[in-house]
Amino acid sequence: MYVPRPEHHFTFGMWTYANAGRDPFGDPVRPLPDLDFHCAAAAKLAELGAYGVNLHDNDLVPIDATAAERDAIARRYAQALADAGLCVPMATTNLFSHPVFKDGAFTSPVPSVRAYALQKAMLGIDLGVQLGAKIYVFWGGREGSEVDAGKDPVDSIKRYRDAFNYLIAYAKDQGYDIKFALEAKPNEPRGHIFLPTTGAMLGFIATLDDPTQCGVNPEVAHETMAGLNFPHAVAQAMDAGKLFHIDLNDQEPGRYDQDFRFGAANLKSSFFLVKLLEDRGYAGMKHFDAHAYRTEDRDGVWDFCRGCMRTYLILQEKVARFNADAEIQGLIADLLADRDQVAGYLAPYSGPQAAALKAHSFDIDALGRRGSRLELLDQLTVELLLGVR
C-alpha cells in the first residue's frame, strides 16, 4: 500500500534532496552536495520509487566549468542515472544565484546581463536536452524590483517576452523536442517579482510569438504565498491546455516560501489538488520542489522524500473513496441538478433561446431560500480525510 513506483512519475530536483539547510539566518546544517553525493542519491531515489531527477544547470555543472569539465560531469551523471534507472524529465537554468543577476536576468536593465542570461539559458537548454529533458522551466526569481523608479514594468515585460521569443526560436532552430514551462512567484527573493501568479503567466504566454511552445509550472507554495487557491490556479492552467509541469510542496499562507513536504501544511487543499490532477488525467511529472526541515540530517531528508510520495498516494486513494462515496456523490448531484429544467437556456447562444430566456419568469426568492447542504458535504469530506468514512 502507498508504495511509490516509477509509473507514478514522482520526481525530485537535485536542489531539493540536496538542500543543505542554509537559510537567510543560518548556515548549512547538512553537508554541501558534490557529484559523488548526487550519483549516490540517484540510486537512493530509485530505491524509494522515484521516476526522475530534475536540475538547474549549476546544480550539476559549476558556473565556471570549462566545456570539457561540463562534458565529463554530464557523462558521469548520465551514467549514474542510467545505472539507477532514473531519467531527467525537466531541466532549468539558475538565473538567480550569481551576483550578476542581482537586479534580474532577462529583465535586467543592463544589456550585458540580459545577453549573458540568454547565453546561459541556451547552454542550459543544451544540457537539459542532452540529459533527456522534455520540459524546460523558467522561474524568474530575480526578475523583479524593490525600487520601481529603476525598472519600468512595461519595458520589463517586453524584455521578458523578447527573451522567451528568442529562446523558443533557439530551441526550434536546434530541432529540440522540448517545451517551456514558466513558474510564477509573487515575491522573495525580490520585493516584487514580475508576472507574480500562474494567471499572470497565462496572460503573458498569450503575447509570445509562438504561445504553443510555452506552458506553466505552477507551484503550491508560490500561489499560496499570494493568498490564492492553488487548485483553482491549476484548473485555469488545465483549462488553457497549459499545465506542462507542476511543483508540488506545501505552504502556510502569509509566510516566506516554505517549500514544505507535500501535504505537511494543508491536507484539505492537497486533497483537492490531487483530486483535480487525478480526475482530470494529468499525465505530466509530479515534481516535489520542496526540502526537508532545517532540523533534519540526511536520513531525515530521505524521510522527507518518502513522505512526499506516500502522502500523494494516500490522498490518491482518498480521492477514489470520495468519488465512490454514494452519500457524498448524492449531495454533489443534488447541488448540480437542473430542478427547474432551465438547462436549455444555458446552451450555446441562439436568438430564439435568448428570446425565450428573456420571457422566462424566475422565482428568485424561492431560489434564494434553497439550501445547498454544503456544511454536510464538507463535513463528510473532512470525515473521509480523517479516515472515518
Catalytic positions, written as ranges: 56, 59
The CB-of-161 to ligand DIG minimum distance in angstroms stands at 19
Q: How many residues bind ligand DIG (CB under 6 A)?
A: 10
Contact track, ligand DIG, 234-253, x by CB under 6 A: -------------x------
The closest of 234, 170, 178, 168 to 202, measured between CA atoms, is 234
Distance CA 151, CA 145 (A): 7
Give the burial string for 73-109 (b: 16+ CB within 10 Å, else e). bbeebbebbeebebbbbbbbbbbbeeebbebbbbbbe
Contact track, ligand DIG, 45-64, x by CB under 6 A: -----------x--------
The CB-of-287 to ligand DIG minimum distance in angstroms stands at 6
Q: Between the CA of residue 156 and those of 103, 109, 144, 197, 270, what are the distances in Å?
A: 12, 8, 9, 16, 34
Q: Which residues pair with 281 in a beta bridge?
A: none
For ligand DIG, the binding residues in 4-23 under the rule CB under 6 A are: 13, 15
Nearer to ligand DIG, 136 or 272 (CB): 136
**∠ at Cα 381 (377, 385), nearest 5°?**
170
For ligand DIG, the binding residues in 145-184 under the rule CB under 6 A are: 183
198 binds ligand DIG (CB under 6 A): no
Is the torsion defined by CA of 313, 215, 137, 30 positive or negative?
negative
143 binds Mn ion (CB under 5 A): no
Distance CA 61, CA 273 (A): 34
Q: Which of 272, 289, 308, 331 binds Mn ion (CB under 5 A)?
A: 289
Burial class (CB in 10 A: 0-12, 13-18, 19+), 369: exposed
Q: Which of 204, 247, 315, 319 binds Mn ion (CB under 5 A)?
A: 247
Q: Between the CA of residue 76 and those of 92, 124, 268, what are the distances in Å?
A: 19, 17, 42
**Which listed range, 144-152, 221-229, 338-346, 360-368, lies at the site for Mn ion (CB under 5 A)?**
221-229
Nearer to Mn ion, 49 or 141 (CB): 141
Nearer to Mn ion, 138 or 322 (CB): 138
Nearer to ligand DIG, 56 or 70 (CB): 56
Nearer to Mn ion, 226 or 331 (CB): 226
Sites of contact with ligand DIG (CB under 6 A): 13, 15, 56, 92, 137, 139, 183, 219, 247, 289
